[in-house]
């Protein structure tokens, strides 16, 4: 489905306006197979900005896969013909989300390259995965 990206929440979540003119509906979308740093985490803001450069006010192609615990549509996302998950991982702006890595085998080599080149979040001495950060900062 083709949509227009109208908002960026963080480095792995956006809002897209989908449907026919006059019958648009907003959809909150979580980009499949990646996990970006939380906004208050190191690189959180830069990850969000990178996603905005890729997608904000762009036509997006969504391939919905499932819904997450927050009611968001988890989808493969392309903006301007680019795979958003691959672009975020390759730039060092997101981790490959391990539970879904097998369905997206192209992402792991991109993460290894970003890590070896110390791109983005990999420039830190000990980058903290967002799932670890969330566990420690819950509530």
Per-residue pLDDT tens over the stretch 41-95: 999 999 999 999 999 999 999 999 999 999 999 999 999 999 999 999 999 999 9
Apex 58 CA angle, 46 and 2, nearest 5: 125
**pTM, full prediction:** 0.94
Hey, which residues are catalytic here? 30, 38, 72
Beta bridge partners of 116: none
Domain with 101 in it: 2-136
* DSSP label at residue 129: P
Give the chain's domain count. 1
- CATH no. for residue 12? 2.40.50.90
């Amino acid at each position: 489905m083709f949509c227009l990206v109208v908002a960026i929440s963080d480095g792995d979540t956006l809002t897209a306006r989908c449907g026919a003119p006059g019958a648009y509906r907003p959809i909150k979308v979580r980009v499949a197979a990646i996990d970006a740093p939380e906004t208050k985490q190191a690189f959180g803001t830069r990850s969000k900005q990178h996603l905005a450069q890729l997608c904000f006010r762009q036509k997006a192609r969504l391939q919905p896969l499932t819904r997450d615990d927050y009611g968001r549509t988890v989808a493969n996302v392309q903006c301007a013909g680019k795979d958003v998950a691959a672009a975020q991982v390759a730039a060092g702006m997101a981790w490959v989300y391990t539970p879904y890595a097998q369905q997206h085998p192209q992402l792991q080599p991109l993460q290894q390259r970003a890590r070896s080149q110390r791109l983005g979040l990999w420039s830190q001495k000990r980058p903290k995965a967002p799932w670890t950060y969330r566990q420690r900062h819950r509530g």
